[in-house]
Amino acid sequence: MRVGVVLVCAETVSGTSNELTATGNVVLDGGVGVGNGPVTIDEATQTITVAAPAPISLLRSSGALSLGTAAFTIECAATTDPISGKGGLAKVALTGANLAGLGSLRVGGVPFSMPTTGSLSLYLDNEHGGGIVGAASLQLSMLGKPVSSGALSLGSMPGQHPRCRLGRLGQVRSDLARERMEV
């Protein structure tokens, strides 16, 4: 079923016409697994909520990549990532997040940093099989010292190359579509 810009798949969806509950292998936008639920879907307000921390994983052809756990609310109306300018995203407000699994990811072999604990904001993207987009910075080495790249948006989609869009650096945008995200 579709709620705003978010596609929800589950083994069971039940409830009233405006408020539904999804349970059993719940997947958002075809690429983000959120456990067995319960996931509350409010069609009137176009929100999706998981009240207690649930497992979050990227579903890849090689298997699920666990990112960690969090409770969350998704605003399913289309919005735009302010860093990259990419539209058609759903804003995700995470609480009690522990996304240590993000630390294992790399962009072209280069580590990046982004918040992984507490209250966080990410975006759900339905392109390329579904994935998440968040503000991050690459940890670059200049003359042997680590230097932050500045703000960029990092999208992680299952089975796809990562996409980075630089937004605040003179409005320069760069897709690193040829680099692979390594686990």
> What does the domain layout of the chain look like in residue ranges?
2-182
Confidence of residue 100 (pLDDT cuts 50, 70, 90): confident
pLDDT in tens, 130-181: 788 877 776 666 666 655 555 555 666 555 444 444 343 322 223 332 233 3
pLDDT in tens, 163-177: 444 343 322 223 332
* Number of helical H runs and strand E runs in the chain: 0, 18
C-alpha dist (Å) from residue 38 to 10, 46, 64, 105, 162: 10, 17, 20, 28, 30
101/15 Cα distance (integer angstroms): 33
pLDDT in tens, 52-95: 999 998 887 778 888 899 999 999 999 998 888 889 999 999 99
Confidence of residue 128 (pLDDT cuts 50, 70, 90): confident
Calculate mean pLDDT across residues 100-105.
73
12/145 Cα distance (integer angstroms): 52
> Which of 59, 58, 152 lies closest to 107, judged by CA?
152
123/146 Cα distance (integer angstroms): 27
Q: What angle do CA 95, 98, 99 make, to 5 degrees?
A: 110
Its pTM stands at 0.78
